[in-house]
Structure formats: C-alpha cells, structure tokens
Amino acid sequence: MEIKINKEKIDFQLEDEKTLGDIINVIQNWIHSSGFVMISLTLDDKEIKIAEQTDWQKTPLKGINCIDIKVNHVSELRISNLETVIRYLGMFSGSILSGDKKMFKELLTGFPFMLESLSGNYIIDNDTSSFSEIIRKLSADELKNLTEEKKEEITKLTDNIKIKVTDALREIQYPEDAIHEITGKLHASASEISEVSVLLQSGKDRQAMEYVVRFSDLTQRFFRILTALGDYGKLEFSNLMIEGKKSMDFYHELRDILSQLLDAFNARDSVLIGDLLEYEIAPRIEILTRLSGKFH
C-alpha cells in the first residue's frame, strides 16, 4: 500500500494500524507538529468526504492500494480565508449598491461563516458589530427601499472592515516585521490608557473613548501576530503561558473586560469605568507590555 502526501510518496511502516482511521490519526499528529492540516483524503482515486460524520475511519486497510492525503500549512489556510473574506465583502457591498436580491440572498447564507472568520482572525470591533446588526435585520425585499444614506453607511462599514482584513492578511504573511511594528504602538497605547480617567474627569469623553478603542484594536492585532508566529514555528504560541494562563485564555479574558469597558462608556457609568481601568485593565496592560518587550 502506498501513502502519499500532496502526491509525494512517503515512507510509512505499518505497526498496529488496522483501519484507515488508525493511519490518519498517526499522520495527523505528525503533520500538526509541523503546522500542517489535512484538507482532503483520497482512497484509490475516490475522494472521501472527511468533514462529514461517516464511518470512513473504520474502513479496513485490506484492499486499499493508495492513500493520498492533501495538506496545507495553517498559515496558507488563514491567508486563503482572509482573501475570501475580502472578496465576499466586495460582493456584499456590490449587492447593496445594486439592489441585487438574488446575490444578497446567496451571500446571506455565508454571512455567519464570514463573521466566524473575522472572529478567528481577531477582527471584532464596533464596525463588525454594527455591520452584523444591520445585516441581521435586513431582508432581500427591503433592499430596494434602502435610502442612499443607508447604503453609504453599510458600504462604508464594509470598506472599513476590508481595510482591517487587508492589514490582518499582511500581518499573517509577514509576522516578524509586524511584531516589531506593533510592539511600539502597543507601548504608546498603554501610556494613553493611563490617561483615560483624567480625560473623563476633564470632560474629554471622546478622546478617552478613542484611546480605549485603539488599545482594543492593537491588542487584537498583537495576539493575531503571535498566532501567525506560532503558525510559522517562530514561537510556541499554543504553549505560551501568560501569568499562569494559556495565552488564548488571557486574550479572551482581556477582550471581555474591554467589551465591558466600552459598554460602561456607552452607559456613562463612571464608577464602573474607573474600577475596570484600575483593577482589571491596568494590571493586564503591565503584563502585555512586558510580553511585547521581549520582541524588541
């Protein structure tokens, strides 16, 4: 029996493997350690739908002549995913401007997956939230009744998100350059955050909000770049611990706190804003700046 990866035969010696699932588990563990993922599986020129819940794993090895596995590096998949999101947003904007109901309906089916892609690439902010809220309430039949002002609002949001996706694409393609660029910005933003309470007391709410939004954006970008460095084997990101917590747990915790802070701004709850800044955000900023300093 031949085993191929991307059409190239590999030297694989059977041990106790009896089924297709046994072999695939071994190979997946091997390729995952190098940053690759399996995207398709072919048995003797017959493609197996690996994503479906079938019993293909139980297939006996006896009678199989060739197993051909197609793999991609996880960074390539991220890049391809973001390029798809950019094209999707362009088509979505076009359907809004043209009032194309058929295209709009087709694009709506992929909307949850697009949002999932944004979240998976650390692109969650006010623009994505506003865009999501508008689209969830919009039906194809209402397209023709959209005012020019509403169309402009939606297309502006898609353009803003496309800019962020394009930035994310560049950061994933060139993470080593991006990490040196982002660390300086993160340090500067941390200093701005320390001024937020004073700005609020001075009635400069808008400037205070800008500082918080900028820090939130930079934090997301920082963790996205760390993930990309991990994909390329430049950093053991999956094993990175921050103050005794897994890096992703630390990130999600910080993101939730920043979300609470933005809600407190909108509610003009100065007491909660002060408490979050002093007891939740300030200590985590100190941790983040120490971490980012390692990349200078």
Amino acid at 245: K
**19, pLDDT greater than 60:** yes
pTM score: 0.78
> What is residue 166's predicted lDDT score, i.e. its pLDDT?
96
CATH classification at residue 15: 3.10.20
State how many domains the chain has.
3
Using the 3D structure, point to which of 171, 186, 218 is the last residue of a domain. 171
Question: In which band, very low, low, confident or very high, does the pLDDT at 296 lie, cut at 50, 70 and 90?
Answer: low
231-250 average pLDDT score: 84
> Residue 207: CB partners within 8 Å, gap ≥ 6?
199
| Residues 39, 2: Cα–Cα separation, whole Å | 19
Residues 56 and 140 in one domain: no
The range of the structural domain enclosing residue 138 comes to: 77-171
> What is residue 124's predicted lDDT score, i.e. its pLDDT?
85
Residues 54 and 82 in one domain: no
Q: Are 171 and 228 in contact (CB under 8 A)?
A: yes
Using the 3D structure, point to which of 135, 151, 171 is the last residue of a domain. 171
Residues 159 and 53 in one domain: no
Please report the DSSP string for 65-111 in residue order: -EEEEEEEEHHHHHHHHHHHHHHHHHHHHHHHHHT-HHHHHHHHHTH
Residues 286 and 197 in one domain: yes
Residues 64 and 88 in one domain: no
Helices (H), the chain: 20-32, 74-98, 101-109, 111-120, 126-136, 148-173, 175-193, 196-201, 205-231, 247-267, 270-275, 282-293
Residues 91 and 104 in one domain: yes
Residues 66 and 89 in one domain: no
Using the 3D structure, point to which of 32, 52, 73 is the last residue of a domain. 73
If DSSP codes are grouped into helix, strand and coil, which group holds residue 188?
Answer: helix
